[in-house]
Homo-oligomer: A and B are copies of this chain.
Amino acid sequence: MTFSYDKLKNFTQQVFLKMGCSQEHAEQAADVLLNADLRGVDSHGVARLIGYVRLWEVERVNATPEIKVIHETPSTATIDGDRGLGLVVAPYAMKIAIEKAKVAGTGWVAIKNSNHYGIAGYHSMMALEHDMMGISMTNASALVAPTFSQERMLGTNPIAVACPTNEEPPFVADFSTTTAANGKLEILQRKEEDAPEGWVQDKEGHNTTDSGILKKGGALLPLGGDRVHSSHKGYCLGSIVDIFSAVLSGANYGPWVPPFPSYVPLPENPVGEGIGHFVGAMRVDAFRPAEDYKNHMDNWIRRFRAAKPAPGHDQVIIPGDPERASALIRMKEGIPLLQPVIEDLKGIADKFEIEF
Protein backbone atom coordinates (compact mmCIF):
# COMPACT_ATOMS: atom_id res chain seq x y z
CA MET A 1 0.00 0.00 0.00
CA THR A 2 1.37 3.42 -0.91
CA PHE A 3 0.93 6.78 0.81
CA SER A 4 1.50 10.28 -0.47
CA TYR A 5 4.63 12.06 0.71
CA ASP A 6 2.65 15.05 1.98
CA LYS A 7 0.18 13.00 3.99
CA LEU A 8 2.84 10.81 5.57
CA LYS A 9 4.97 13.83 6.40
CA ASN A 10 2.05 15.65 7.93
CA PHE A 11 1.17 12.60 10.03
CA THR A 12 4.76 12.20 11.19
CA GLN A 13 4.93 15.85 12.14
CA GLN A 14 1.71 15.49 14.15
CA VAL A 15 3.25 12.59 16.06
CA PHE A 16 6.33 14.62 16.99
CA LEU A 17 4.09 17.51 18.05
CA LYS A 18 2.13 15.13 20.28
CA MET A 19 5.42 14.03 21.86
CA GLY A 20 5.84 17.64 22.87
CA CYS A 21 8.30 18.77 20.19
CA SER A 22 8.13 22.41 19.08
CA GLN A 23 6.64 23.13 15.66
CA GLU A 24 10.12 23.75 14.28
CA HIS A 25 11.56 20.53 15.71
CA ALA A 26 8.57 18.46 14.60
CA GLU A 27 8.91 19.76 11.04
CA GLN A 28 12.65 19.11 11.03
CA ALA A 29 12.37 15.57 12.40
CA ALA A 30 9.57 14.69 9.94
CA ASP A 31 11.63 16.08 7.07
CA VAL A 32 14.58 13.82 7.89
CA LEU A 33 12.44 10.69 8.24
CA LEU A 34 10.40 11.29 5.08
CA ASN A 35 13.56 12.05 3.14
CA ALA A 36 14.71 8.49 3.91
CA ASP A 37 11.41 7.07 2.64
CA LEU A 38 11.59 9.17 -0.51
CA ARG A 39 15.16 8.10 -1.19
CA GLY A 40 14.29 4.42 -0.80
CA VAL A 41 16.10 3.88 2.50
CA ASP A 42 12.98 2.26 3.98
CA SER A 43 14.80 1.05 7.09
CA HIS A 44 15.42 4.65 8.19
CA GLY A 45 12.09 6.30 7.39
CA VAL A 46 8.66 6.21 9.05
CA ALA A 47 9.27 2.53 9.77
CA ARG A 48 11.39 3.84 12.65
CA LEU A 49 8.80 6.29 13.95
CA ILE A 50 7.52 3.83 16.51
CA GLY A 51 11.07 3.35 17.77
CA TYR A 52 11.45 7.06 18.47
CA VAL A 53 8.06 7.16 20.20
CA ARG A 54 9.08 4.27 22.45
CA LEU A 55 12.40 5.92 23.32
CA TRP A 56 10.44 9.03 24.28
CA GLU A 57 8.05 6.93 26.41
CA VAL A 58 10.90 5.49 28.45
CA GLU A 59 12.40 8.98 28.70
CA ARG A 60 15.54 8.22 26.74
CA VAL A 61 14.56 10.95 24.25
CA ASN A 62 13.93 14.51 25.41
CA ALA A 63 11.28 16.13 23.16
CA THR A 64 12.17 19.65 24.31
CA PRO A 65 15.97 19.69 24.34
CA GLU A 66 18.00 22.78 25.01
CA ILE A 67 20.72 22.16 22.41
CA LYS A 68 23.90 23.98 23.41
CA VAL A 69 27.33 24.79 22.00
CA ILE A 70 29.68 23.83 24.83
CA HIS A 71 33.07 24.42 23.16
CA GLU A 72 34.21 26.21 20.01
CA THR A 73 36.99 27.64 17.85
CA PRO A 74 36.70 29.51 14.53
CA SER A 75 36.27 26.26 12.55
CA THR A 76 34.88 23.87 15.20
CA ALA A 77 32.17 23.42 17.78
CA THR A 78 31.03 20.76 20.19
CA ILE A 79 27.35 20.41 20.92
CA ASP A 80 25.42 18.91 23.80
CA GLY A 81 22.20 17.56 22.28
CA ASP A 82 20.46 17.40 25.69
CA ARG A 83 19.08 13.91 24.87
CA GLY A 84 17.14 15.34 21.94
CA LEU A 85 16.15 13.49 18.77
CA GLY A 86 19.20 13.09 16.53
CA LEU A 87 16.79 14.05 13.74
CA VAL A 88 16.78 17.54 15.26
CA VAL A 89 20.20 17.76 16.90
CA ALA A 90 22.22 16.79 13.80
CA PRO A 91 20.65 19.39 11.45
CA TYR A 92 21.20 22.01 14.18
CA ALA A 93 24.88 21.00 14.29
CA MET A 94 25.14 21.00 10.51
CA LYS A 95 23.82 24.56 10.37
CA ILE A 96 26.57 25.62 12.76
CA ALA A 97 29.17 23.83 10.60
CA ILE A 98 27.87 25.72 7.56
CA GLU A 99 27.99 29.08 9.39
CA LYS A 100 31.57 28.36 10.55
CA ALA A 101 32.56 27.42 7.00
CA LYS A 102 31.23 30.71 5.65
CA VAL A 103 33.77 32.54 7.80
CA ALA A 104 36.65 30.08 8.33
CA GLY A 105 36.46 28.08 5.07
CA THR A 106 35.41 24.89 6.84
CA GLY A 107 33.26 24.00 9.86
CA TRP A 108 33.36 20.82 11.95
CA VAL A 109 30.96 19.94 14.74
CA ALA A 110 31.16 17.02 17.18
CA ILE A 111 27.89 16.14 18.94
CA LYS A 112 27.31 14.29 22.22
CA ASN A 113 24.19 13.40 24.17
CA SER A 114 22.12 12.73 21.06
CA ASN A 115 20.01 9.88 19.68
CA HIS A 116 19.59 8.10 16.33
CA TYR A 117 19.87 10.74 13.59
CA GLY A 118 18.16 9.02 10.63
CA ILE A 119 20.00 8.77 7.31
CA ALA A 120 23.54 10.16 7.31
CA GLY A 121 23.06 11.51 3.79
CA TYR A 122 20.37 14.04 4.79
CA HIS A 123 22.75 16.03 6.97
CA SER A 124 25.62 15.98 4.47
CA MET A 125 23.27 17.22 1.73
CA MET A 126 22.39 20.34 3.74
CA ALA A 127 25.76 21.76 2.63
CA LEU A 128 25.03 21.49 -1.09
CA GLU A 129 22.92 24.61 -1.55
CA HIS A 130 25.76 26.62 0.00
CA ASP A 131 28.29 25.30 -2.55
CA MET A 132 29.93 23.31 0.21
CA MET A 133 30.97 19.69 0.60
CA GLY A 134 28.97 18.09 3.41
CA ILE A 135 30.27 15.31 5.66
CA SER A 136 28.23 13.40 8.23
CA MET A 137 28.85 10.35 10.38
CA THR A 138 27.40 8.78 13.52
CA ASN A 139 28.16 5.97 15.85
CA ALA A 140 25.50 3.43 16.82
CA SER A 141 25.06 0.59 19.28
CA ALA A 142 27.49 -2.31 18.92
CA LEU A 143 26.43 -4.96 16.39
CA VAL A 144 29.75 -5.34 14.56
CA ALA A 145 32.72 -7.53 15.51
CA PRO A 146 36.10 -6.04 14.58
CA THR A 147 38.53 -8.27 12.69
CA PHE A 148 39.65 -11.15 15.00
CA SER A 149 36.96 -10.25 17.59
CA GLN A 150 34.24 -12.48 18.88
CA GLU A 151 32.62 -9.57 20.67
CA ARG A 152 30.44 -6.86 19.11
CA MET A 153 32.28 -3.58 19.56
CA LEU A 154 31.11 -1.14 16.88
CA GLY A 155 27.86 0.04 15.32
CA THR A 156 27.22 0.03 11.59
CA ASN A 157 28.69 3.56 11.82
CA PRO A 158 27.76 5.19 8.49
CA ILE A 159 29.63 7.90 6.60
CA ALA A 160 28.03 10.33 4.14
CA VAL A 161 29.80 12.76 1.83
CA ALA A 162 27.92 15.13 -0.49
CA CYS A 163 29.71 17.10 -3.23
CA PRO A 164 28.05 19.98 -5.10
CA THR A 165 28.02 20.16 -8.90
CA ASN A 166 27.06 22.54 -11.67
CA GLU A 167 24.75 20.90 -14.25
CA GLU A 168 24.99 17.31 -13.05
CA PRO A 169 23.07 16.16 -9.99
CA PRO A 170 25.25 16.14 -6.85
CA PHE A 171 27.53 13.27 -5.81
CA VAL A 172 26.08 11.81 -2.58
CA ALA A 173 27.74 8.80 -0.98
CA ASP A 174 26.00 7.41 2.12
CA PHE A 175 27.06 4.01 3.38
CA SER A 176 27.51 1.92 6.50
CA THR A 177 31.02 0.67 7.25
CA THR A 178 29.91 -2.97 7.29
CA THR A 179 29.59 -5.55 4.52
CA ALA A 180 25.83 -5.39 4.85
CA ALA A 181 23.56 -3.02 6.72
CA ASN A 182 21.29 -4.57 9.33
CA GLY A 183 18.20 -3.79 7.22
CA LYS A 184 19.34 -6.11 4.43
CA LEU A 185 19.84 -8.93 6.90
CA GLU A 186 16.33 -8.44 8.30
CA ILE A 187 14.85 -8.71 4.81
CA LEU A 188 16.56 -12.07 4.28
CA GLN A 189 15.42 -13.23 7.69
CA ARG A 190 11.81 -12.33 6.91
CA LYS A 191 12.07 -14.37 3.70
CA GLU A 192 13.80 -17.17 5.64
CA GLU A 193 16.76 -17.03 3.28
CA ASP A 194 20.44 -17.50 4.08
CA ALA A 195 22.84 -14.58 4.20
CA PRO A 196 25.85 -14.62 1.85
CA GLU A 197 29.22 -15.67 3.30
CA GLY A 198 31.10 -12.70 4.76
CA TRP A 199 28.11 -10.81 6.20
CA VAL A 200 27.86 -12.23 9.72
CA GLN A 201 29.46 -14.47 12.31
CA ASP A 202 27.88 -16.47 15.14
CA LYS A 203 28.30 -15.72 18.83
CA GLU A 204 31.43 -17.89 19.02
CA GLY A 205 32.98 -15.90 16.19
CA HIS A 206 32.61 -18.54 13.47
CA ASN A 207 31.42 -17.79 9.94
CA THR A 208 27.76 -18.43 9.35
CA THR A 209 25.08 -17.76 6.76
CA ASP A 210 22.23 -17.73 9.31
CA SER A 211 20.37 -14.48 8.60
CA GLY A 212 18.82 -14.59 12.08
CA ILE A 213 22.17 -14.81 13.85
CA LEU A 214 22.13 -11.30 15.38
CA LYS A 215 19.28 -12.36 17.69
CA LYS A 216 21.40 -15.31 18.77
CA GLY A 217 24.37 -13.20 19.85
CA GLY A 218 26.08 -13.11 16.45
CA ALA A 219 27.63 -10.05 14.84
CA LEU A 220 27.76 -8.15 11.57
CA LEU A 221 31.18 -8.03 9.89
CA PRO A 222 33.12 -4.92 8.92
CA LEU A 223 33.27 -3.91 5.24
CA GLY A 224 35.60 -6.44 3.61
CA GLY A 225 34.02 -9.38 5.44
CA ASP A 226 37.12 -11.39 6.36
CA ARG A 227 40.84 -10.72 6.76
CA VAL A 228 41.62 -12.02 3.25
CA HIS A 229 39.23 -9.42 1.83
CA SER A 230 40.55 -6.67 4.14
CA SER A 231 37.89 -6.56 6.85
CA HIS A 232 40.51 -4.66 8.89
CA LYS A 233 39.83 -1.68 6.59
CA GLY A 234 36.12 -1.74 7.42
CA TYR A 235 37.11 -2.06 11.08
CA CYS A 236 39.38 1.00 10.70
CA LEU A 237 36.55 2.98 9.09
CA GLY A 238 34.03 2.05 11.77
CA SER A 239 36.58 2.94 14.44
CA ILE A 240 37.31 6.35 12.90
CA VAL A 241 33.58 7.12 12.87
CA ASP A 242 33.32 6.04 16.51
CA ILE A 243 36.32 8.13 17.61
CA PHE A 244 35.30 11.28 15.70
CA SER A 245 31.67 11.00 16.83
CA ALA A 246 32.21 10.14 20.46
CA VAL A 247 35.78 10.36 21.77
CA LEU A 248 36.03 13.91 20.37
CA SER A 249 32.57 14.95 21.56
CA GLY A 250 32.16 13.22 24.93
CA ALA A 251 29.50 10.72 23.84
CA ASN A 252 29.52 6.97 24.51
CA TYR A 253 31.69 4.85 22.24
CA GLY A 254 32.30 1.20 21.39
CA PRO A 255 30.17 -1.22 23.42
CA TRP A 256 28.81 1.65 25.59
CA VAL A 257 26.70 3.23 22.82
CA PRO A 258 22.99 3.17 23.85
CA PRO A 259 20.78 0.83 21.79
CA PHE A 260 17.93 2.04 19.58
CA PRO A 261 15.28 -0.45 20.79
CA SER A 262 13.78 0.99 23.99
CA TYR A 263 13.44 -2.47 25.59
CA VAL A 264 17.20 -3.17 25.43
CA PRO A 265 18.81 -2.05 28.71
CA LEU A 266 21.34 0.77 28.55
CA PRO A 267 24.97 -0.40 28.85
CA GLU A 268 26.33 -0.13 32.39
CA ASN A 269 28.99 2.37 33.46
CA PRO A 270 28.59 4.78 30.53
CA VAL A 271 31.77 6.51 29.39
CA GLY A 272 29.96 9.55 27.95
CA GLU A 273 26.53 10.98 27.22
CA GLY A 274 24.15 9.52 24.62
CA ILE A 275 25.31 8.67 21.14
CA GLY A 276 27.66 10.84 19.10
CA HIS A 277 27.75 12.34 15.62
CA PHE A 278 30.34 14.29 13.67
CA VAL A 279 29.44 16.65 10.81
CA GLY A 280 31.40 19.01 8.63
CA ALA A 281 31.09 21.51 5.80
CA MET A 282 33.83 22.73 3.45
CA ARG A 283 33.29 25.67 1.14
CA VAL A 284 34.52 24.57 -2.28
CA ASP A 285 35.71 28.12 -2.94
CA ALA A 286 37.94 27.80 0.11
CA PHE A 287 40.13 25.70 -2.21
CA ARG A 288 39.57 27.05 -5.74
CA PRO A 289 37.04 29.24 -7.56
CA ALA A 290 33.63 27.56 -7.20
CA GLU A 291 32.96 27.49 -10.96
CA ASP A 292 36.26 25.69 -11.64
CA TYR A 293 35.50 23.12 -8.99
CA LYS A 294 31.92 22.62 -10.17
CA ASN A 295 32.79 22.24 -13.84
CA HIS A 296 35.42 19.63 -13.00
CA MET A 297 32.98 17.86 -10.68
CA ASP A 298 30.51 17.68 -13.59
CA ASN A 299 33.30 16.32 -15.77
CA TRP A 300 34.23 13.75 -13.11
CA ILE A 301 30.64 12.52 -12.99
CA ARG A 302 30.25 12.40 -16.78
CA ARG A 303 33.51 10.50 -17.24
CA PHE A 304 32.61 7.91 -14.59
CA ARG A 305 29.10 7.51 -15.97
CA ALA A 306 30.64 6.92 -19.41
CA ALA A 307 33.04 4.23 -18.14
CA LYS A 308 32.68 1.03 -20.15
CA PRO A 309 30.30 -1.19 -18.14
CA ALA A 310 31.18 -4.75 -17.10
CA PRO A 311 29.26 -7.58 -18.81
CA GLY A 312 25.64 -7.73 -17.68
CA HIS A 313 25.50 -4.10 -16.55
CA ASP A 314 24.15 -1.06 -18.38
CA GLN A 315 26.10 1.69 -16.74
CA VAL A 316 28.43 2.64 -13.93
CA ILE A 317 26.34 4.26 -11.19
CA ILE A 318 27.27 7.59 -9.60
CA PRO A 319 26.78 7.65 -5.80
CA GLY A 320 23.38 9.26 -5.19
CA ASP A 321 21.82 8.15 -8.52
CA PRO A 322 19.62 5.33 -7.16
CA GLU A 323 18.31 7.40 -4.24
CA ARG A 324 17.49 10.33 -6.52
CA ALA A 325 15.66 8.04 -8.95
CA SER A 326 13.65 6.61 -6.06
CA ALA A 327 12.75 10.06 -4.77
CA LEU A 328 11.44 11.14 -8.19
CA ILE A 329 9.18 8.11 -8.46
CA ARG A 330 7.95 8.14 -4.88
CA MET A 331 7.17 11.86 -4.88
CA LYS A 332 4.86 11.15 -7.81
CA GLU A 333 3.53 7.67 -7.09
CA GLY A 334 3.64 7.63 -3.30
CA ILE A 335 5.69 5.80 -0.70
CA PRO A 336 5.04 2.06 -0.33
CA LEU A 337 4.84 0.82 3.26
CA LEU A 338 4.83 -2.77 4.48
CA GLN A 339 1.79 -3.99 6.42
CA PRO A 340 3.64 -4.24 9.79
CA VAL A 341 4.76 -0.61 9.41
CA ILE A 342 1.18 0.48 8.63
CA GLU A 343 0.00 -1.35 11.76
CA ASP A 344 2.65 0.41 13.83
CA LEU A 345 1.59 3.81 12.48
CA LYS A 346 -2.08 3.04 13.18
CA GLY A 347 -1.12 2.14 16.73
CA ILE A 348 0.68 5.46 17.14
CA ALA A 349 -2.36 7.29 15.70
CA ASP A 350 -4.63 5.60 18.26
CA LYS A 351 -2.26 6.35 21.11
CA PHE A 352 -2.07 10.05 20.29
CA GLU A 353 -5.69 10.28 19.08
CA ILE A 354 -4.75 11.63 15.67
CA GLU A 355 -5.87 10.53 12.23
CA PHE A 356 -3.75 8.21 10.12
Contact = CB atoms under 8 A, between A and B. Distances in A.
B230 A175 contact: yes
Contacts of A288: 71, 78, 110, 248-250
Contact of A308 (B150, B206, B319): B150
B148 A309 contact: yes
Contact of A236 (B247, B254, B319): B319
Contact of A228 (B108, B196, B228, B316): B196
B149 A236 contact: no
Count this chain's copies in the assembly. Answer: 2
Interface of A: 71-76, 78, 103-106, 108, 110, 133, 145-151, 153, 161, 163, 171, 173, 175-180, 196, 198-199, 201, 204-206, 223-225, 228-230, 232-237, 239-240, 242-244, 247-250, 253-255, 271-272, 282-284, 286-288, 292-293, 296-297, 299-300, 303-304, 307-311, 313, 315-317, 319
A292 B103 contact: no
A78 to B, nearest CB: 5
A293 B276 CA distance: 14
A105 B300 contact: no
Given A106-B108, A247-B297, A150 B286 contact: no
A189 B325 CA distance: 42
A247 B300 CA distance: 8
Contacts of A180: 229-230
A247 B243 CA distance: 28
Contacts of A224: 179, 223-224, 229
18 contacts: A71-B287, A110-B288, A147-B317, A148-B313, A149-B308, A150-B310, A179-B230, A180-B230, A206-B310, A223-B230, A223-B234, A225-B225, A247-B297, A248-B282, A248-B284, A255-B303, A271-B299, A272-B296
Nearest to A250: B288
Nearest to A184: B230
A315 B297 CA distance: 43
Q: Which 3 A-B pairs have the closest CB atoms?
A: A73-B105, A205-B310, A173-B236
